[in-house]
Amino acid sequence: MFYLPCCSLLPELFPVIAVSDGSMWKSLASILLLLGAALLLGTIAEQLRQSALLGYIAAGTLVGPNLLGWVSNQKDIFDLAELGVALLLFAIGLEFSLPRLRRLGRVPLLAGTLQVFFTLLAGAMVTAFLGFSIAESLAVGAMIALSSTACVVRMLNDRAELDSPHGRTALGILLVQDIAVIPLMLIVTALLNGGTPGDVILQLGLSLVLAAVFVIVFYGLFNFVLPRVLELSSLRRNRDFPILLAMLMAAGSAWSAHQLGLSPALGAFVAGVLLAISPFATQIRADIQPLKTVLVTLFFAAVGMFADLTWIAGHLGLVLAVVAAIVLGKLIITFGLAYLCGQPWQFALGTGLCLAQVGEFSFVLATVAHGEPGVSILSESTFRAMIAATIATLLLTPYLIQLAPRAAVMIRRLTQPNPLPPADQVNASSVETEPVSKTDSDSIIILGFGPAGQRVAGELLQVGLKQIVVIDLNHENLQIARQYGLQAQVGDATQIEVLEHAGLYRARLVIITLPSPTICRQIIHLVRQMAPGTSLYVRCRYHLHHWQLLAAGADVIVDEEEHVGECLAQQFLDSSLYQLMSRSSRETEENRDGHSP
């Protein structure tokens, strides 16, 4: 363990300040070292136009126990980092309501089930052919059957491909794999302890019952209890309470699933899906975003800590052979099954590339199978080879996912010597992305739907502009927006996640009607950073802040004090009092002119 010498020296010199044994601070020092190294190497990776995930994994390898040795308690850190995977799946679940999840279709469910079975079978057969025992072969096959939910979902989400055809199928298969973690864990544990097949079936049946209980309880909680809690006025007045509630739901769902013997990540995803129909889903996802980012980064750094570069260097040929066999084998199996289940070959190929790696839960299976000396079903060399191969496939994953949307076009060009005619080129490019319609790029976002926002929306609707999205933290205001027929979502507009979900990148105009100049400046900076071409119309409550908002980047500012002055003057000029005073003034002026010499 690496930590500053003063951490142990100060309590000896000043025992009064030694309020604890220091174990917590040592763990914190390890976490800070990992995050600092991840920040440094992740930044370098981005500068080299590589995925930051590569930098995070390299950071764990660098400061981990097998290289510099600054951080050695990898198990405790990995256990903490698993919460990051759960939060990631919870946030993704908030994007996938039950209707949208059903739209994934039968292909992911069928292909995922067959993929787990055939990959496990193929891995076990190959290792058994090489002379491994049946138990060790099954353990290796179980590890290979799983792909990385955290890595694939993170990359697809960052590349906005989670809703693409290959992205949807990959997500569906990953969910099936997360469900398969339960029986695979039972199988490996039974092999380790000598359990019978009947014991495995009994435990699996109990897990299914507990999973049903989990879904029923959380469905009732999120549909009948939570809406009434979130409408409390105290939650709207104090922003601390919604954030605490969001973390309680996200982490609590993962903990509950773990206590029931289920996959924490899968439990968090199910909870997110059940909560996705709530109007508060966007804000909840934004509230957990900071902690999710920290823990997911910590997770990939913790994965890198398992790498032993000395052992890998001495067995490089073996590691490369295992990596090649895993990547090619999983690519072929996943591609073939997705294609046979009805997915077009272009998308099936993309799905195969996305899932051609070994996942994070394989570390858990490997640790269980490795067991203690004398009760292990994995030899030391097999354990190290699988850990090294798993990390290597994770390092390859960003490149494979980048290749996935273009793979079909590249193969088509290689197999067709003549260049594609223009029409085919258009069809080929449409495989990668779906065009954004004109109406999708003409939307208007109104931030704040009090009296000012309602007046703006009313005027826009009268002239036929209906592509309007409203963001507000006040539930009553959002009900009014829905009565107008507008899209409305609960959210704090100072958070990037909320603006992204509202479609800022596609909006032509953002209208800020919020009274606080500080919040307005924060939002202006975010909009200018995320969508510099979007027009910004901003409310300014006091003339004092007019130039501050203009300097922040607002295009048009409606100064309330100036506007009030103009309106008051105009009201007076249109009144009969003005006519009377004007006539009296003219008469006075004429009398003065008549008496002048």
Question: What pLDDT is stored for residue 424 in this prediction?
Answer: 40
The pTM score is: 0.65
Amino acid identity, residue 576?
S
- How far does Cα 525 stand from its chain's mean position? 23
The domains of the chain, with CATH numbers, are 75-412 (1.20.1530.20), 439-573 (3.40.50.720)
User: How far apart are alpha carbons 373 and 543 in whole angstroms?
Assistant: 75
Q: Please state the φ and ψ torsions of residue 172, each to the nearest 5 degrees.
A: -60, -45
User: How far apart are alpha carbons 103 and 118 in whole angstroms?
Assistant: 25
User: How far apart are alpha carbons 190 and 336 in whole angstroms?
Assistant: 31
Q: Is the dihedral of CA 348, 357, 85, 55 positive or negative?
A: negative
- Report the chain (597 residues): mean pLDDT per 10 consecutive residues: 44 50 75 91 85 86 87 77 80 72 75 92 93 89 89 80 82 85 81 72 81 87 79 69 82 88 81 78 79 84 86 91 94 92 86 89 80 76 89 90 79 60 39 38 86 90 89 84 88 82 87 87 87 90 85 88 84 82 76 61
User: How far apart are alpha carbons 273 and 288 in whole angstroms?
Assistant: 15
- The tokens for 151 are 């890595």
Question: What pLDDT is stored for residue 7 in this prediction?
Answer: 47
Residue 30: CB partners within 8 Å, gap ≥ 6?
1, 2, 3, 70, 71, 72, 73, 77
